[in-house]
Amino acid sequence: MKRILISGASIAGPTLAYWLHRYGFEVTVVERAPELRTGGQAVDVRGSAREVIELMGLMPSVRARHTGTVGIRVVDAANRERWRWGAELSGHSGGIIADLEILRTDLARILYDATTPGVEYVFGDSITDLRQHDEGVDVTFSSGAERRFDVVVGADGLHSRVRRLAFGPEPDYVRDQGYYKVIFAAETGLDLGGWQAMHVLPGRRRASLYPTATGQTRGMFFFAAPPVAYDRGDTRAQKKIVAEAFAECGWEIPRMVESMWETSDFYFDRESMVSVPEWSRGRAVLVGDAVSGGSAGMGTSMAIVAAYVLAGELAASDGDHARAFAEYRRKLGGYVSANQKPMPGGVKLFLPRSAGVIWLGDQLTRLMLAGPWRRKLTGDLGGNAESVTLEKYLSSVQTVDEAR
């Protein structure tokens, strides 16, 4: 078992590729986009994921690309502060804003650079068919190419193609959370001073401006609504849905909507929870959002940890992929379950219906932030982020460097 195909070149895919290559596997990563994807939100590196980044020797690079954001401020329509939550209040991993945040595109680039040369990347292509048999998996690509691999890994996100081909239709595993999430490059006249600014509106809507050390501001909208039919390739139709949801709103929202119309750096999707009882089928296995998407603040960290464990188990299994997959699932099942639990109050508190509920939520938050019980605001996010003990596979598995 030497040839491994990974679908997806965001976070989980390159992390997995890095470790597999170190263990001597022949690794190919296929990515539907023509190049590394840019844009996206800031992501947190929490708990055990930090240990993995340290083992990869990448922590200096990750810290150098820190967004510089120091916490979150919730404001009213006149931009008056209701409450603030600094990253230092809840340890390195326990707050809404972790003390180590990086734009997803920057982290993806760092991971990609750490795997090249050595790992084969195929951009602008995707898997269209998988045929499993005793000798491996015959894969057909959208380009028409056909290749055989020993194992295929779906690290291709919420709408995983590998999961659909090997496990079944997306609705069997993806549960809609009732609201849309929008991320885009934004302009603002506010001096954010390193703080993420967030404004909560009645009608189950929320807007946010996230600053970075480079001066780039990320705009975010969240709004509850029934699913709306649209073409996933038609960004103009998606932007129209967002603009209508936030029409005639105050604060910085009109300027944010204007920025959204102008930018090509735009993400729009339903917020969903992924639940896959079996993480593998035959020679196909899932990692990252494809198997555990939908957590609050832990998606990136879980992807990094899961990639590390999956690679280690494949290296330690003496060619028995079934054993490796079983150990991967056994060792991380509790960790994933803990980190997929919703925040206290769930969607109803995150997107309140009325001004009265917003006011009550502000009072409760201020009260809890004043004492040690602030950890309950996130359901002990920091503790859950460290709820897995990582094995040191490097001490028991021969690496490429050692083999030389």
Residues 6+ apart with CB under 8 A from 5: 28, 29, 30, 127, 137, 139, 147, 149, 151, 152, 153
Report which residue type is found at 46. Answer: R
Q: For position 232, what pLDDT does the model report?
A: 85
- Domain layout of the chain by residue ranges: 3-58+102-173+275-341+382-403, 174-272, 346-378
Residues 6+ apart with CB under 8 A from 21: 27, 115, 118, 119, 400
- For the chain (404 residues), the mean pLDDT of every run of 10, in chain order, is 94 98 97 93 95 98 96 97 93 88 96 97 98 97 98 98 98 97 95 96 98 93 94 94 97 97 96 97 98 94 98 95 98 96 90 96 93 86 94 75 52
Characterize 102-121 residue by residue with b for buried, 16 or more Cβ atoms within 10 angstroms of its Cβ, and e for exposed: bbbbbbbbbbbebbeeebeb
Torsion region of 56: left, alpha or beta (phi above 0 gives left; psi -120 to 50 gives alpha): alpha
Assign domain 174-272 to its CATH architecture: 2-Layer Sandwich (3.30)
Tell me the pTM: 0.95
The DSSP string of 181-244 is EEEEEE--SS--TTEEEEEEETTTEEEEEE--TTS-EEEEEEEE-------TT-HHHHHHHHHH
Q: Which two tokens stand for residue 238?
A: 């998606």
CB 82, CB 361: distance < 8 Å: no
Q: For position 404, what pLDDT does the model report?
A: 43
Q: State the Cα–Cα distance between residues 9 and 130, nearest whole angstrom.
A: 19
- Kindly give the pairing relationship between strand 151-154 and strand 284-286: parallel
3-58+102-173+275-341+382-403 under CATH 3.90.1260.10, yes or no = no
CA-wise closest residue to 179 among 221, 218, 219, 237 = 221
Q: For position 288, what pLDDT does the model report?
A: 98
CB 164, CB 170: distance < 8 Å: yes
